[in-house]
Structure 1
Amino acid sequence: MTALLLTGCSGQADPTAYPSAPPDYKLYDTDNLHNEAAWNTSNVHDPSILKDGDTYYIYSTDVKVGGTGTPGIMVRKSKDLISWEWVGYAFVGVPEEAETWTGATGLWAPDIEKFGDTYYLYYSASTFGSNTSYIGVATSSSPEGPWTDQGEVVKTSGVDDPNAIDPNIVLDADGKAWFVYGSFFGGIYVSPLNQETGKLAEPGFGTKIAARSRSMEQGAVEGPYVIYNPEQEKYYLFVSYDSLSSDYNVRVGRSESITGPYLDSNGRDMLDVDYEAQFEIGNKLIGGYRFNEGEGWISPGHNSVLQDGSDYYLVHHARPEQDSNWMYLHVRRMVWTADGWPAVSPERYAGETPQKVAAGSIHGEWELLVHEKLIDGQVGSNTITLLKNGKIEGGEPKDYWKFDGDHTLTLYWHDAEGTVISEETVLLLPAWDWERNKAALVFTGMNESGAAVWGKQLSRDS
């Protein structure tokens, strides 16, 4: 992507490199409801990502706005994570064994992995509200197929069983493969995987690593995705809480072992179903949000994570607030806090890179948005001003900010008596403001409660 250099009110160029304008894909594109080749980022639900050579592939659930989705797992590809093109379907219909077991008319929540020269595509078959479910696997010598179905990996039906959907393959620190899966009902499980067959290495359902009380949206925890961060020497479990159509949100816990326990930044176990404030468990990475201008988004969730060298990206779907029947692919740059927690950009990826930020570019008017854990619907923003003298205007008189001279900002918040009640350390990114269609400086971080803190610069003081 071509970098932009912004000019401030003083007329001096800002040496920070900002991304240029991404493709202007139309929202609510009713002209192409039945034209799959034009879907690019629309009709994407439960995306799983793979990098193969210089190409990125997205595999996703069978959905369609304004009609019934074609069964078979959608496939798209990109060279830059920004512009996406349609590839086609992995299968023609639901594989016979999966259809017989579940009665499914479409396939959900795939995942993709490569072992040796073979690609393994995992798929879910079920019906809404049922745990008579099935995860199967197909193989190919190409990420674009053709695919040969290899049958069952795990299936469920009993009242006390897990729910065999939402597969995820993860390699541990020693390169050993594991199979993570589950949704609602029994919770999230992990089990060793045989890399030669792509199937479970041991009988049974595996080890439970996350669950929620049935009192919370009927125990809604799903879409597990685990990564190992070698720099942190920890495993990170990403899951989605609550209703996929209204208040989906992504939570994170971490562990020193792939089998858990996975704890949030306050030490709460992602497996604790007895803690009375269930909504507080897990660091909240992203939920529904709306900035002051442009389209707001609801129900972001069911993510995958791309580890591309030293770069990380959160890949998820979200629904636009004006018509939540639509669903779109979002890719976001992920950064890591000083204490080893992931945080994601408030803006979709447009080619931005973490870099040193000019000190003179920070002061000005900003929108501040906090993904409070109790708010599982859409959260709005408020306006603050970072003054040249280090003060923050828009809160209490003693609020102030500090910059480390590189790309880290710390915000100090006080109560009415002047006592510091919160310190929020956030990371600055030169991004693309999708709501206002212009380059802008943003920040992201995590506060003491484990809630994401976002900021977006609206104007810059000279």
Structure 2
Amino acid sequence: MKKHILVVTALLSVIGIIGCSSKQNNENILAKINFPENPKIEELRDSSIVLDKSNWGTLGAHDPSIYKDKDTYYVFSTDARVGGPATPGIQVRKSKDLINWEFIGQALKGIPEEAKKWSNAQGIWAPEVTKVGDQYYLYYCTSSFGKNRSYIGLFKSKSIEGPWEDQGLVLKTNQGEDRNALDPNIVYDKDGQMWMSYGSFWSGIYVVKLDKNTGKPLNLNDKGKNISKRDAAVSGAVEGPYIIYNEEQKKYYLFVSYGSLSSDYNVRVGRADNIEGPYLDSNGNDMTDISNSKPDEIGNKILGGYKFGDSEGWMAPGHNSILNDNGNYYIVHHVRTEKNKDWFYLNVRKILWSEDGWPIVSPERYTGEKEQAIEKNALIGNWQVILQDKNNNKIIPSEQYEFASNGKIKNEKQSGKWELDGDNNIYIELTNSNGEKIEYSGKVIPSWDWENKKQTIVFTAIDSNGISLWGKLMR
């Protein structure tokens, strides 16, 4: 009997040693990762700060447009407000780190007289800032909600914080026309020429060449070329264009928001060899194609409503701008809370790039994370995974999957496999409900888990049909 007890005791000791050794190895692997620090920001529907502009931070930023001036990031945004009527004049925030934001006031004293007279607007929407020579150009638009009697105007200043001098009309549209002069975005082509994309609903998005000196179209009667539109079956719901040129990829990327800003906004992307298009998605669909019987199939979906685990979800992310900060890319957008859509916030997320040159977005808000080498064993465990279904643009909840050390993936419904290659390239294969094997490729990065308030690892990936897959490791 004593002999059996000794054997069992010895086995338990060995198991204990193995368990401690495994835990120690895991801790050693994680210790090599440079995780972002706790941002120490509590912001979800805090009613105590609604009337205190000095504490707004990211609260109340709608249609944000970002610009980096020297070592400071500025966000200009629509006249919108949580918990009361907005004061017209364009909200302005600034930050040193893209994490902590300070509300610094409004760019203008109200709606410019000419713009208000034309559009009968109650506020200023979707501003955009750029710099030409030693002058800052501030674009804005005004309209009446649901109508296309709209006006895009321009101000100039020697300082990004003003004062601003009115330059008048850039472009306007009237009821009865097939386009809408909203949501200006300034983009420079690979030769440094200046362009403006704009548009909302109706016949969609346009791009027009500008005169750098005036900041206005070279031909004042030229309203540009149509580069994105949607079918009447979905109310023509496309707006908020933003174009960038990626020098490494040698491509122009058009980001647009599909859907309704208060319920199912989601961000889609197409790319082109020329600034005037055609902009195509991963399937070769033209972003102007309205012949497709499934309009939600057009465009790579990189960002939509989501919910991790039992935490509150986020809905209708969209109307983004893009920052290229010395080769590091970020998407800046607004988003609404699941339990009350009237509360909206500014989000900044890191953009990574798939191996075939498509932007993919981090599942978590930016807190200073950087791409780095990750060991395979760091990814073993349970993951919360979200498939950004193109045909479901409401809040999509996560599902739990186990990533095993042998490269297998499984959950209650399906199985698959995963592989880590190089520093942080991840390849995932999942079997869909039709038995088809779908392959995703993407990136793994350390991150801050906003829902659980701790450090974690996330992945963002995309398949050949332009559908994004997100994952967060439950540490």
After TM superposition, the score normalised by the length of structure 1 is: 0.95
The Cα shift of 1:414 comes to 3.6
**Structure 1 residue 458 displacement after superposition:** 0.4
The equivalent of 1:121 in structure 2 is 138
Out of 183, 188, 206, which is 2:200 matched to?
Answer: 183
Structure 1 segments, 4+ long, off by >3 Å, are 7-11, 395-398, 414-417
Q: Is the contact made by 1:396 and 1:413 (CA closer than 8 Å) also made in structure 2?
A: no
Q: Quote the Cα distance in structure 2 between the aligned partners of 1:293 and 1:396.
A: 19
Q: Distance in 2 between matches of 1:370 and 1:413?
A: 11
User: How many angstroms does 1:409 deviate by?
Assistant: 1.4
Opposite residue 381 of structure 2, the aligned amino acid is: G
* Residue among 376, 381, 398 paired with 1:381: 398
SS at the partner of 2:233?
Answer: coil
Q: Are 1:361 and 2:361 counterparts?
A: no
Alignment partner, residue 214 of structure 1: 232
- 1:149 corresponds in structure 2 to 166
Q: Contact conserved, 1:396 with 1:415, CA < 8 A, in 2? A: no
Of 268-277 and 244-253, more deviation after overlay is shown by 268-277
Cα distance in 2 between the residues matched to 1:85 and 1:8: 42
Q: CA RMSD in A?
A: 1.5
Task: State how far apart, in whole Å, the 2-side matches of 1:143 and 1:36 are.
Answer: 20
2:316 to 291, 299, 305: 299
Q: Identify the residue that residue 205 of structure 1 maps to in structure 2.
A: 223
1:425 counterpart (435, 441, 459): 441
CA shift, 1:160, in A, is 2.6
**Displacement, 1:33?**
1.5
Count of aligned residue pairs for this structure pair: 451
Query: Is the counterpart of residue 450 in structure 1 residue 469 in structure 2?
Result: no
Shift of 1:11: 4.0
1:98 aligns with 2:110: no
Instruction: Note the alpha carbon deviations across 1:407-442, whole angstroms, 9 max, x for none.
Output: 01111224699x761111121010000000011000
Contact 1:295 1:321 in 2 (8 A): yes
Equivalent residue number for residue 455 of structure 2: 439
Separation in structure 1 between the aligned mates of residue 29 and residue 215 of structure 2, nearest angstrom: 54
Q: 1:347 to 1:300 in 2, by over 3 A?
A: same
Hey, what does 2:5 align to over in structure 1? none
Letter in 1 for 2:439: E
2:39 aligned to which of 22, 38, 45: 22
The equivalences for 1:81-96 within 5 A come to: 81-96=98-113
Q: TM-score, normalised by structure 2?
A: 0.92
Q: Is the 8 Å Cα contact of residues 412 and 420 (structure 1) preserved in structure 2?
A: no
Match of 2:315, as an amino acid? I
CA–CA separation in structure 1 for the residues paired with 2:432 and 2:257: 33
Work out the CA distance in 1 between the residues paired with 2:376 and 2:66: 36
Change (3 A) 1:312 1:11: closer
The structure 2 residue matched to 1:327, chosen from 312, 325, 344, is 344
Distance 1:397 1:47 in 2: 39
1:189 CA displacement: 0.5
When residues 396 and 322 of structure 1 are mapped into structure 2, their CA distance, relative to the original with a 3 A threshold, is: closer
Following superposition, the deviation at residue 395 of structure 1 comes to 5.9
CA 257–406 in structure 1, closer or farther in 2 if over 3 Å, else same: same
Out of 432-441 and 399-408, give the one that drifted further: 399-408
Shift of 1:215: 1.0
Unaligned runs of 5+ in 1: 1-6
After superposition, the C-alpha distances for 1:36-79 in whole angstroms (9 at most, x for unaligned) are 11110000100000000000000000111121101000000000
Name the aligned partner's letter for residue 451 of structure 1.
I
Q: What secondary structure sits across from 1:18 in the alignment? A: coil
CA 1:8–1:427 in 2, change beyond 3 Å: closer, same or farther?
A: farther
Preserved contact between residue 8 and residue 361 of structure 1 (Cα < 8 Å): no
Query: CA shift at 1:277, angstroms?
Result: 0.7
Code of the residue aligned with 1:52 in structure 2: it is D
1:128 to 1:432, Cα distance in 2 relative to 1, 3 A: same
Deviation at 1:10, TM superposition (A): 4.4
Whichever residue aligns with residue 95 of structure 1, its letter is P
Looking at structure 1, the residues matched to 298 and 53 of structure 2 have their Cα atoms a distance apart, in angstroms, of 39
Q: Which moves more between the two structures, 302-311 or 403-412?
A: 403-412
How many angstroms apart in 1 are the aligned matches of 2:56 and 2:245? 32
Q: Distance in 2 between matches of 1:162 and 1:394?
A: 47
Structure 1 position 366, deviation (Å):
0.4
For 1:321 and 1:366, locate their aligned partners in 2 and report how far apart those are by CA, in whole Å.
22
The verdict on how the C-alpha distance between 1:52 and 1:366 changes in structure 2, with shifts beyond 3 A counting, is same
Give, in angstroms, the shift of residue 35 of structure 1: 1.3
2: distance between equivalents of 1:241 and 1:399?
31
Q: Secondary structure at the match of 2:115?
A: helix
Match of 1:67 among 67, 78, 84: 84
- Aligned residue identity for 1:457: L
